[in-house]
Amino acid sequence: MRVTLKIWRQGERSKKGKFVGYPVEANPDMSMLECLDVLNEELTGKGEEPVAFEHDCREGICGSCGFMINGIAHGPLPATTVCQLTMRHFKDGQELVLEPWRAKAFPVIKDLVVDRRSFDRIIASGGYVSVSTGSAPDGNAILVPKETADRAMDAAACIGCGACVAACPNASAALFTGAKIAHLGILPQGKPELDLRAIRMVTQMNEEGFGGCTNIGECTGVCPKEIALEVIAAMNRDYLRGSWRERDNVVTTIRPFTEWSTGSKLKIDPHASS
């Protein structure tokens, strides 16, 4: 089959980008990323700059890959990442428009690659459980009902790809943040720090410049792991309750990086709050 890939090309964050069309001979059994591999081999052979895109496991687990395909995050197939999406789901001769996630908190690094370190800083602000180091505790030391374990596992399935942000008209990270708060807070081990965790992670999310959630639901519609919208409601509940209980505690944030420059030191915004 033959398709035309209309790809967003942008050399770096400070430069203007544009769409460039490339005809590609693709096998229907190829994944979208393999199709880009074929294109990059052709471009490299011609001495042209290959298309930059993120990938790692190529099994829908790591969350590295991700971009818009014809305006849909990860493409038209539900509960699927772009590395799992095969070309058989498109028609021969079809034009596919590929562009990076569009959000203030996800600045473009190059082509289809965006800077998602804002997610990392949200996790670093409170997405953990403080425990003493040493050997792992016995699996039956803390009994957890199966229903509770299942709910926690459903939230923990989030791979942090960023599709929820890209699909949201407000570029909100509420689904991601809610999932990361919920999968810890549901379990007994995460309850002692639940209040401060919710406050810190929501505060950091707002600091990063993500938009507010208005319950449109586009996020869960494109989520490759089908994270339920209820984690956002749980996050709002935990945040409001924690804000009252921990009202005397000062919550700090991690300063967002403002630039990405390969081979040079990262520059930090001196005006960011901390």
Higher pLDDT, 136 or 228: 228
Q: What pLDDT, in 10s, does the model give residues 59-94?
A: 999 999 999 999 999 999 999 999 999 999 999 999
Tell me the mean pLDDT in the region 36-52. Answer: 97
What is the Cα–Cα distance from 39 to 32, expressed in whole angstroms? 11
* SS3 label, residue 268: strand
The token pair at 269 is 């915004």
* SS3 label, residue 235: helix
* SS3 label, residue 23: strand
* SS3 label, residue 165: helix
**Residue 140: per-residue pLDDT:** 80
Write down all domains in the chain, each with its CATH number in brackets: 2-109 (3.10.20.30), 117-245 (1.10.1060.10)
Residue 139 banded pLDDT, cuts 50, 70, 90: confident
What is the Cα–Cα distance from 101 to 98, expressed in whole angstroms? 10
Residue 266 banded pLDDT, cuts 50, 70, 90: very low
**Residue 272: per-residue pLDDT:** 45
**pLDDT score of 161 more than 60:** yes
Q: What pLDDT, in 10s, does the model give residues 174-194?
A: 999 999 999 999 999 899 999
Tell me the mean pLDDT in the region 136-165. Answer: 92
Q: How far is CA 203 from the centre of its chain?
A: 18
**pLDDT score of 164 more than 70:** yes
Q: How many residues does the chain have?
A: 274
**pLDDT score of 274 more than 80:** no
Q: What pLDDT, in 10s, does the model give residues 7-23?
A: 999 998 889 999 999 99
Please tell me whether the overall predicted TM-score, pTM, comes out greater than 0.85 for this model: yes
**pLDDT score of 240 more than 70:** yes
> What average pLDDT does the chain have?
91
Q: Are 72 and 38 within 8 A, CB to CB?
A: no
What is the Cα–Cα distance from 97 to 105, expressed in whole angstroms? 22
